Amino acid sequence: MTPAAPHRWRIEVVRDATPRRRALSLAAVMLLALALCGLLLRAAGADPGTALAALVRGAFGSLNAATETLVRATPLIFTGLAAATAFRARVWNIGAEGQVFAGAICAYGLSHGLAGLSPLVQLPVVLAGAMIGGAAWAGLAGLLKTACRVDEVISTVMLNYIIVYVLSMLLLKGPWSEAGGFFEQTAKVDPGSVLPVILPGTRLHLGFALALLAALAMQVLLARTPLGYEIRGAGSNLRALSVQGASAARILILVMILSGLLAGLAGATEVYGVHGRLKAGAITGFGYAGIVVAILGGLRPWGVVGAAIFFGALVNGGTYMQIKTGVPSALIYAFEAIILLACLAGWAAAGLRIRKVADAV
């Protein structure tokens, strides 16, 4: 065997990768991700084909399944928009998880005294409460950053842990716990505060329409308003913006508030649209999943909607898959992470080229 000519691999940055290159690279990495997911399915003792078929049927197999997918997608649209808005400005709000809790808590706190009043009174209070709660919890992290230089990644994560205990205090033998109940949850909320179903015969509720409306609003805000202009500018070169007189602190706080109020709405749709009572299990996990949705959606509002429906389908189909094949539905969360990693790698790889260069003697 002759030894190969000495060479080394060098990775070079490609400026302005073409859209085709991006798409190809993304497709390649996604295929790899799917193959990995297939391996996981096999490891769990299932036939990937059967399991995948069950997953698709569970997600879209009937009108009921499809609307259920949209129901699952609804909170993810909100948290995805929350993460996308913050990330567009390069503000690392990892706290959508906690802001969903804060939104739900505030909505319940403001509205549960209004039982019996007209939905026209209760619904606006629920939605406003959710926005206020989420915005306040996120704004706190913003203030910590601008006033005390606490990195927002750390503060939002810490606040995520803290609010879980706040809710637990309110619910476990606390002021809001269900009378005579064993579980950490409130009693059923007043029917007048429940988000109405918009497609009779299904569980698809007003929250989904609101989520689409929020996506539209964010699209217009980002593309056409001065605030959106500043958010996009901050993500690209915040310094140039402040040299021209914009206040970096003001942008940060506004972004956190906007992001928080979107996340807070997810709390309201789950409590008042799906579960009908406030409990931790009803609102856990959407914040972190929203980050995946935002990245997969390319940080664009309509991309977020698409990605959220995709993940809604995964979660919805995953449950069906567990029933049909015995594969734990927790697999979906591993899927999410793998797809996020693949997505990140795909984008980055499009901007790189690996070249063989001759090695010197």
Partner 1 sequence: MLSDLLQMSVLASILAATLRIATPVLLAALGELVAERSGVYNMGVEGTMLMGAFTAYLAADGTGSLTLGLIAAMLTGALMSLLFAILVVTLGIEQIVTGLAINLLGSGLSVFWLRAAFASDAKSPTIALFEPLDIPGLAGLPFVGPVLFQQKLVTYLALLAVPAVWFFLYRTRQGLELRCCGENPKALDVKGLSVAARRYGAVVFGGAMAGAGGAFLTLATSARFVPEITAGRGWLAIVIVIAGMWRPGPVLLATLAFSFLDALQLQMQGIGIRVPYQILLAMPYAVAILALALRRRQSGAPEQLGIPYIRG
Partner 2 sequence: MTAAPPRLEVRGLTKRFGALAANDGVSFDVAAGELHCLLGENGAGKSTLSACLFGLLAPDAGEIRLDGQPLNAATPAQAIAAGIGMVHQHFVLVPAFTVLENIVVGTGRGWRADLAGGRRRIADICGRYGLALDPDRRVADLSVGEKQWVEVVKALYLGARLLILDEPTAVLTPEESDRLFAIIRRLTGEGIAVLLISHKMREVLQSDRVTVLRRGRVVATVVTADASGDDLSRLMIGRAVAPASAAAPAAAGGEVLRLDRLVPDRAGRAGAPISLTLHAGEILGIAGVAGNGQDELLETLAGLRPPLAGTMHLMGLQATGLGAHALAERGVGYVPSDRFRDGLVPDFTIAENLLLGRQWQAAARRGPFLGAAQMRARARAAIADFAIAGGGPDTRSGRLSGGNAQKLILAREFAKARHLLLCNQPTRGVDIGATEFIHRELLRKRAEGCAIILASEELDDLLALSDRIAVMSGGSILGTFPKAGADLSAIGRLMAGQGGRAA
Q: Which of 21, 22, 232, 324 binds partner 2 (CB under 8 A)?
A: 232
302 binds, among partner 1, partner 2, none (CB under 5 to 8 A by kind): none
Structure tokens at 28: 């390649």
341 binds, among partner 1, partner 2, none (CB under 5 to 8 A by kind): partner 1
The per-residue DSSP string of 47-104 comes to: -HHHHHHHHHHHHHSSHHHHHHHHHHHHHHHHHHHHHHHHHHTT----THHHHHHHHH
Alpha helix locations (H) across the chain?
A: 19-43, 48-60, 63-88, 96-111, 119-148, 152-171, 206-224, 226-243, 248-269, 280-283, 286-296, 301-325, 331-350
Q: Which residues contact 112 (CB under 8 A, 6 or more apart)?
A: 176, 186, 189, 190
Count the residues of the shown chain that bind partner 1, applying the rule CB under 8 A. 50
361 binds, among partner 2, partner 1, none (CB under 5 to 8 A by kind): partner 2
Give the other-Cβ count within 10 Å of 333's Cβ.
17
The dihedrals phi and psi of 7, each to the nearest 5 degrees, come to -155, 165
Q: CB nearer to partner 1: give 69 or 155.
A: 155
Q: Contact region for partner 1 (CB under 8 A) — 122-130, 211-219, 272-280, 332-340? A: 332-340
Residue identified by tokens 């070079």 is 12
Answer for the pair 53, 327: CB distance below 8 angstroms, yes or no: no
240 binds, among partner 1, partner 2, none (CB under 5 to 8 A by kind): partner 2
Q: Which of 97, 190, 270, 336 binds partner 1 (CB under 8 A)?
A: 336
Should residue 359 be labelled a site residue for partner 2 when binding is judged by CB under 8 A? Answer: yes
Q: Which of 230, 259, 283, 329 binds partner 2 (CB under 8 A)?
A: 230
Should residue 244 be labelled a site residue for partner 2 when binding is judged by CB under 8 A? Answer: yes
> From the CB of 98, what's the least distance to partner 1, in Å?
10
Q: CB nearer to partner 1: give 171 or 305.
A: 171
Should residue 248 be labelled a site residue for partner 2 when binding is judged by CB under 8 A? Answer: no
Q: Which of 38, 119, 235, 298 binds partner 2 (CB under 8 A)?
A: 235
